[in-house]
Structure 1
C-alpha cells in the first residue's frame, strides 16, 4: 500500500550549502566542502587557488593507453544498483563527489545546477512517498502497457525502497533561469544539457570512489520534491 502525498511545507530545507572561502597554501580553497589535509599533504600537485587556470597535461602514448584502459576497467563494472548497505559513509566523501560533478562544462560556464544532499530519515521517507505515489500513477495510467512491458525484464516497479535504504540521496536540479541579488531574472544557456553532463561526471566519480547508485527520474514528482526541499522556483 502506498502512502498519500505528504505536506512538503512542514519540513525545513536539508540541502547542502557551499560556504567556501580562500585559505592559505597547501589548503584547498573550499576545505569546508570535503577536502582532506591528509590527502593534500601527501601530494605536491594540488592547486590551491580559488580559480584554477587551464594547464595542459601531456602524457606519453603508453601512459595515455594505460590510463584509458584502467579507467575503462573501472567504469565497465558500473551498474544501476537498487539495494544498499546501511553502512554510513562520510559526508565529506559525498561533498567531494559533488565538487567533481561541479567541474563539468556548462553553457556560458554558469553551472546551472543545484545538488541537494539528503541524509535525514524523515526527508528521505517523504521523498519516497512522493516518488512512489507518482510512480504508481505512471505505471498504472500514464506510461501505458508497452512501457511497463519494456521494463519488465529489469524487475522494476513503482516501489522504491532504496530511497530510504541508501545513506544519502543526491537531488539534482537544473536552473531554468538565474536570480540575481536584486531578484532579477537572467537567462541560463543549455541548462538541461549542462546538468546532464554534470550528472554523468557524478556517476563516474561515484564509481571511482567504490560506491554504487541508481538514477531515479519519476514523472510529475519534481515540483513536490522542490517544495519539500524549499528550493526556489527556478530550480527544476
Structure 2
C-alpha cells in the first residue's frame, strides 16, 4: 500500500447513527439581511477591561457555554472544559497569581521590546483589577487527551483548533446576550491549573472575565481590516512575498 492509497475504515468500530439534517434554506435576500444583521451586531463587540460588579445570573453563563459547545471539533471529541468562578476568594487568588506573572512580562524583561511597543497603544499593563471586579471569571481549558471507561488514554485530535473555535463562539454568545468580556492569556498560565484544581490532562487556554461594562467604560478607537485586506479570491499563482 502506498502512502497515498485510501485507507479502508475499520468496520468493526462503532458508528454514530445518522439522521436527516435539519437544514433551513432562506431566500437570497433574506440571507443577505441575516448576514448583515449578524455582522453589524458582532462589529459592535469590543474587548472590555472596565467592568461593573453587578451580578450576572449563572444561567446566562451556562447558555453561553452550551452555545460554545456547538463548535465543531476533531473527531467530535469536544476537548474543552469551561471552569466558572464567582467566588471572591478564588478570584483574588487568580488576580494575585496573574499579576505576579504579568509583572515579570511587562517589567521583568520577559516580553520583548517589540511586543511591549505593540501593546502600548492599547494602554495595557501588568495590573488586572478586572479579575476581581467582574462577577464571573471563566477559564477555558483544552483537554489534551481524554480517558476511556477502563482508564486508558483516549487521544484527542486538533485540540487547539477545536478549543479556539469554541472560545470564539463563547465570545459571540456573550456579546449576543448583552455581556462583555476580554480574552486574557497570562503567560505562563500554569497557576490556573493549580488554583482551579484541574487534572494534568487539561491545560488553560484562555481566561474570560465576564460581566457588564462599568459606567463610563471606554475602549480604544480601532479600525478593523477591510474585506480587501482579509480576503483573496481565486488566486492563480504565487504572489509577491509582501504587498
> TM-score if structure 2 supplies the norm length?
0.74
Number of residues paired by the alignment? Answer: 185
Query: After superposition, what is the alpha-carbon deviation per residue over 1:158-211, rounded to whole angstroms, capped at 9, x for unaligned?
Result: 100111110101100001111223221111000011000000001111110011
Q: Once superposed, what is the RMSD of the aligned Cα atoms?
A: 1.4
- Alignment of 1:143 onto 2:111: yes
Change (3 A) 1:53 1:132: farther
- Structure with the largest fraction of helix: 1
* Aligned pairs (5 A) from 1:100-179: 100-140=67-107, 141-179=109-147
SS for the counterpart of 1:170 is strand
SS for the counterpart of 2:140 is strand
Q: 1:217 aligns with which of 154, 169, 185?
A: 185
Query: After superposition, what is the alpha-carbon deviation per residue over 1:107-154, rounded to whole angstroms, capped at 9, x for unaligned?
Result: 000100100011110111111111111111111221122211211110
Question: Any gaps of 5 or more consecutive residues in structure 2?
Answer: 1-17, 204-243
Q: 2:26 aligns with which of 37, 48, 59?
A: 59
- Structure with the largest fraction of strand: 2
Q: Report the Cα distance in structure 1 between the residues aligned to 2:193 and 2:101, rounded to whole angstroms.
A: 15
Q: Report the Cα distance in structure 1 between the residues aligned to 2:131 and 2:82, rounded to whole angstroms.
A: 16
Query: After superposition, what is the alpha-carbon deviation per residue over 1:25-58, rounded to whole angstroms, capped at 9, x for unaligned?
Result: xxxxxxxxxxxxxxxxxxxxxxxxxx99631111
- Alignment of 1:71 onto 2:38: yes
Q: 1:89 aligns with which of 48, 56, 73?
A: 56
Change (3 A) 1:100 1:53: farther
Query: After superposition, what is the alpha-carbon deviation per residue over 1:40-86, rounded to whole angstroms, capped at 9, x for unaligned?
Result: xxxxxxxxxxx996311111111111111111111010000001111
Q: Which moved more, 1:179-188 or 1:205-214?
A: 179-188
Q: 1:233 aligns with which of 194, 200, 225?
A: 200
Q: Report the Cα distance in structure 1 between the residues aligned to 2:68 and 2:51, rounded to whole angstroms.
A: 22
Q: Report the Cα distance in structure 2 between the residues aligned to 1:146 and 1:83, rounded to whole angstroms.
A: 26
Q: Report the Cα distance in structure 2 between the residues aligned to 1:139 and 1:181, rounded to whole angstroms.
A: 45
SS for the counterpart of 1:105 is coil
Question: Any gaps of 5 or more consecutive residues in structure 1?
Answer: 1-50
> TM-score if structure 1 supplies the norm length?
0.76
Q: Report the Cα distance in structure 1 between the residues aligned to 2:40 and 2:180, rounded to whole angstroms.
A: 16
Q: Report the Cα distance in structure 2 between the residues aligned to 1:228 and 1:53, rounded to whole angstroms.
A: 44
Q: Report the Cα distance in structure 2 between the residues aligned to 1:205 and 1:178, rounded to whole angstroms.
A: 26
Q: Report the Cα distance in structure 1 between the residues aligned to 2:128 and 2:147, rounded to whole angstroms.
A: 34
